[in-house]
């Protein structure tokens, strides 16, 4: 079973901010720029132009020009040593069913703004729709860009246990000495193995109906996915912006780890849910998937694991 905890916020500071803005992102960013606001991390999952309940499908050209305008503005709001984490999947052309990987689409826009790609992280999840005309999609990506060559990267805060901690140098001056880092190894951009936090594939279960973080939002991302970026790319007290905040997962991950956050969202419905989640977090009542919880491994005795007789494999 997926292990859940009722989260106690690690940060008791009443000064810590998790502020929702009910507005259209494109418009509100002008205000933040006028106020000379700056953020250390901008993390979001933008609308995918996929006819979800919160968006209208647009031509890719219109989508590109709208989102380009937003990214131009985000660039002005990012500190010089800051990072953007842009979490995307695929756009599927509704007529031709052709797949357009949105990370490729977005890369051109980020490059135009002078951003430097540091990682294209694979977020692998095990469940989702079963496709019939192509292979089923089981990963999305997080594009991590920095604005300059000077950026925060707290590797030690996201290291994972090494698979072979006893490994030694096999030649040279250090021959026979332990070669690994006692704090653990770099988790890489592809996280699997023992549990979500310690996986070589970023195997954070996507938020589906049986996930206890699930709200009525159709495209929520898991809190632990954001936590990893927040911990690695910001310091305590830094500010994080989510321009498409949904039900507040970025703000929750930020608050939980002592970072300030602002989230812009056009839907009052999602804001209300998000505010409730944030207040539950503050009260220590938010049901949240604990970092490092293993992905469900079904027991061979479970009915769903038993193969029906007419299955031919």
Ligand X SMILES: C[S@@+](CC[C@H](N)C(=O)[O-])C[C@H]1O[C@@H](n2cnc3c(N)ncnc32)[C@H](O)[C@@H]1O
CB 215 within 8 A of CB 269: no
Q: Is 244 in the site for ligand X (CB under 6 A)?
A: yes
Q: What is the CA radius of gyration of the chain?
A: 21
| Token representation of residue 127 | 């469940």
**Out of 265, 271, 288, 293, the residue judged to bind ligand X by CB under 6 A:** 265
Q: Is 261 in the site for ligand X (CB under 6 A)?
A: no
| Token representation of residue 311 | 């299955």
CB 209 within 8 A of CB 232: no
**Out of 79, 247, 278, 286, the residue judged to bind ligand X by CB under 6 A:** 247
DSSP state of 149: S
- To the nearest 10 degrees (0 to 180), the angle between helices 249-256 and 223-233 is 50
**Least distance to ligand X from the beta carbon of 301, Å?**
34
Toward ligand X, which CB reaches closer, 29 or 160? 29
- The secondary element (H helix, E strand) that includes residue 82 is strand 78-88
Toward ligand X, which CB reaches closer, 46 or 82? 46
H-type helices in 40-135, by residue range?
60-77, 102-112
Q: Is 251 in the site for ligand X (CB under 6 A)?
A: no
Toward ligand X, which CB reaches closer, 160 or 202? 202
Toward ligand X, which CB reaches closer, 194 or 214? 214
**Out of 267, 280, 290, 292, the residue judged to bind ligand X by CB under 6 A:** 267
Toward ligand X, which CB reaches closer, 240 or 264? 264
**Least distance to ligand X from the beta carbon of 6, Å?**
20
Q: Is 123 in the site for ligand X (CB under 6 A)?
A: no
Residue nearest to ligand X (CB): 246
Toward ligand X, which CB reaches closer, 41 or 264? 264
Task: Name residue, tokens 């970072």.
Answer: 259
Q: Is 57 in the site for ligand X (CB under 6 A)?
A: no
Stretch that binds ligand X, among 75-83, 97-105, 173-181, 212-220 (CB under 6 A): 212-220
Q: Is 206 in the site for ligand X (CB under 6 A)?
A: no
Main-chain phi, psi angles of 118, to 5 degrees: -105, -40
CB 204 within 8 A of CB 102: no
Q: Is 270 in the site for ligand X (CB under 6 A)?
A: yes
CB 144 within 8 A of CB 226: no
**Least distance to ligand X from the beta carbon of 312, Å?**
39
CA distance 292 to 295: 9
- What is the rounded end-to-end Cα distance, in angstroms, of the chain? 27
Toward ligand X, which CB reaches closer, 122 or 160? 122
- The secondary element (H helix, E strand) that includes residue 256 is helix 249-256
Positions that interact with ligand X (CB under 6 A): 24-26, 45, 47, 54-55, 217, 219-221, 244, 246-247, 249, 264-267, 270
């Amino acid at each position: 079973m997926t292990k859940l905890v009722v989260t106690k916020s690690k940060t008791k500071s009443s000064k810590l901010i998790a502020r929702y803005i009910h507005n259209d992102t494109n418009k509100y960013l002008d205000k933040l720029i006028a106020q000379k606001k700056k953020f250390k991390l901008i993390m979001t999952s933008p609308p995918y132009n996929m006819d979800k309940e919160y968006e209208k499908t647009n031509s890719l050209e219109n989508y590109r020009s709208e989102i380009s305008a937003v990214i131009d503005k985000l660039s002005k709001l990012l500190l010089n040593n800051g990072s953007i984490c842009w979490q995307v999947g695929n756009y599927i052309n509704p007529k031709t069913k052709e797949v357009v990987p949105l990370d490729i689409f977005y890369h051109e826009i980020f490059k135009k703004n002078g951003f430097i790609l540091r990682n294209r992280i694979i977020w692998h999840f095990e469940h989702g729709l079963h496709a019939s005309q192509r292979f089923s999609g089981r990963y999305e990506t997080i594009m991590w860009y920095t604005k300059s060559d000077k950026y925060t990267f707290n590797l030690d805060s996201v290291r994972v246990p090494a698979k072979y901690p006893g490994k030694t140098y096999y030649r040279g001056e250090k021959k026979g000495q332990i070669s690994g880092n006692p704090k653990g190894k770099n988790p890489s951009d592809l996280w699997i193995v023992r549990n979500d936090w310690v996986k070589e594939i970023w195997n954070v279960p996507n938020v589906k109906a049986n996930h206890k973080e699930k709200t009525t939002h159709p495209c929520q991302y898991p809190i632990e996915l954001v936590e990893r970026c927040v911990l690695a790319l910001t310091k305590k007290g830094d500010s994080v912006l989510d321009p498409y905040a949904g039900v507040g997962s970025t703000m929750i991950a930020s608050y939980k780890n002592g970072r300030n956050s602002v989230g812009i969202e056009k839907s009052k419905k999602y804001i209300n849910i998000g505010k409730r989640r944030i207040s539950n977090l503050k009260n220590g009542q938010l049901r949240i998937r604990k970092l490092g919880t293993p992905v469900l491994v079904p027991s061979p005795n479970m009915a769903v694991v038993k193969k029906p007789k007419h299955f031919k494999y």
